[in-house]
Structure 1
Amino acid sequence: MVWTFIFLIIAGFVAGLLASVAGLASLASYPALLLVGLPPVIANVTNTTALVFSGIGSMASSMKELRGNWKRLGIYVGLSLIGSIVGSYLLLIAPASSFEKVVPFFILFAGILLLMSGRKKDTSTRKMREAHASPEKHFWVALISLTGIVVVGAYTGYFGAAGGVIFLAILSIIMDEKFTVINATKNAIAFIGNLVATIIFIFKSHIYWLYVIPMGFGLLIGGYTGPIIVRHANIHLLRALIALAAFGLAGYLFVTAYF
């Protein structure tokens, strides 16, 4: 049991880094919970609960980037919560077999979006200016983007693996800010979504708290460290490496679910 706790702390730290850097915490935390013997749905519920600690760490470390953006963040969080509540209830009523079969495709899609979201800042800025130049185009871009936040919120509540990177891709389109600010906004949205999903799971499902504690400790430290790394690291390289990890995990889970 001691070695299991040490393993979960290490996995949690790695997951916390992935969460705050690119929104892919579950690439490390979810498989770790499967390896220690939890069934898929219980592992996901426990994983979502542990991810709250990563959110606490990343929020504490990202206050500099979030300063002056609270009003806009509140709107994004509200939209995400609508989806998160729906997704959480969907997880509780959907059969475990269908859950296992759909997860690999979610992760594959997230990896693709991660690579697509790695475009240069000036490209995002140019598209935003073009959208604002045309009121009609601005309306549809805003509508589609905000609807996307609700949909990704539902996905996060349902599974959550790589949900952060999908948020990152959407926010990079609708926000004309530096990557550090966009990433901090993503971390805040993911934190609130996981927190609400956890509250629902407390009353509606079974959380394996014995594993939440060590993994949550690792996630807290990793989540706090991640934003510091983002301020200094080569973001494009990080995106590429994590996308490759996403593809690898998607392939592994596809094989285990279908063969």
Structure 2
Amino acid sequence: MSPVEALCILLAGMAAGTINTIVGSGTLITFPTLLFFGYPPVVANVSNTVGLVAGGVTGVHGYRAELRGTSRTLLRLVPMSFLGAVTGALLLLVLPAEAFNAIVPALILLGLVLVVVGPRLQDAAARRHRNAVVPWHQPVMMGGTFVAGVYGGYFGAAQGVILIGLLSALSSEPLQRLNGYKNVLGTVVNAVAAVTFMVVAWDRISWPVAGLVALGALAGGYIGSTVGRRLPPNALRAFIIVIGVVAIVKMVWFS
């Protein structure tokens, strides 16, 4: 690995860690970077997943204020992310990379729609039920979190957009707190997928690549939490939408 290649991977990891903490989709930076330098797709995906865990840790730490008092919600959602991530990671090792190509842009688009209409859906639910707690929201949220975990364990690009869209539509919590949830759940998915890869696909991990991505993402997670927490809800929503649209365009036209 040349110094230029190492620097590019390190910077890609930093950018990915920053974007992942604010919204998600950091993989859309690191994954193409690794492909550009000639790494096979599965090696790039697996190594990238292992490396990005570090950014999730600093991102969660940065959102610790927003996550105070959320243990009951997280105790319901984290196991679903855990199970989904194991399922998705195993699917990556047995299914062709093209298996999710058709559904991924549709999932991201659905996430964007939910980000936009989520507050309106919550207001309508609150008016109908005189409070923001709707009985069927919790099981649907848990099921959606599992599906997002499967996708995250399989590939993960724009997983954050999908999670934020789901949570925006089904939770009355402020957007910044939902972003904290997203960081926890996304980190769980990445960590579980990474451990799964270490157990069953150790030989497919490029440890120099994973290490460089991790170093960059570690700093990026801190930067992302600092920037993301200062964005007002509408600005954060707009940023999520822009990143989601870029992800869809990239996957549809450049896949």
> Taking structure 1 as the reference length, what is the TM-score of the superposition?
0.87
Decide which moves more: 61-70 or 232-241. Answer: 232-241
Pair 1:232-2:248 in alignment: no
Hey, what does 2:114 align to over in structure 1?
Answer: 117
Residue 197 of structure 2 is matched in structure 1 by 201
Shift of 1:138: 3.5
Spell out, residue by residue over 1:70-105, the C-alpha distance to the aligned partner (whole angstroms, 9 max, x if none): 2211211111111111111111122xxx31x24543
| Residue pair 1:82, 1:150 contacting (<8 A) in 2 also | yes
Instruction: Map residues 1-259 of structure 1 onto 2, 5 A cutoff.
Output: 1-94=2-95, 98-99=96-97, 101-119=98-116, 122-129=119-126, 132=129, 138-205=134-201, 206-233=204-231, 234-254=235-255
Q: Deviations over 1:152-178 (max 9, x none)?
A: 111111111111211111111222111
Identity of aligned residues (%): 29
Q: Where does structure 1 lack aligned partners over 5 or more consecutive residues?
A: 255-259
Q: 1:30 to 1:128 in 2, by over 3 A?
A: farther
Q: Which amino acid aligns with 1:176?
A: S
Number of paired residues? 248
The alignment partner of 1:66 has SS state of: coil
Mark the CA change 1:209 to 1:125 in structure 2 (over 3 Å): closer, same or farther: same
| CA positional deviation for 1:252 | 4.2
Farther-moved stretch of structure 1 (181-190 vs 66-75):
66-75
TM-score normalised over the length of structure 2: 0.89
1:111–1:148 distance in 2 versus 1, CA, 3 Å? closer
Relative to structure 1, the CA distance from residue 150 to residue 122 in structure 2 (aligned partners, 3 Å threshold; closer, same or farther) is closer
Question: Residues 114 and 149 of structure 1: is their aligned pair in 2 closer, same or farther, counting only changes over 3 Å?
Answer: closer
For the 8 Å contact 2:67–2:181, the answer to whether it is kept is: yes
| Root mean square deviation of aligned Cα | 2.2
Give the number of the structure whose residues are more often helix, by fraction: 1
Structure 2 CA distance for partners of 1:125 and 1:44, relative to 1, 3 Å:
same
SS at structure 2 position matched to 1:160? coil
Where structure 2 has 5 or more consecutive residues not aligned to the other structure, the ranges are none
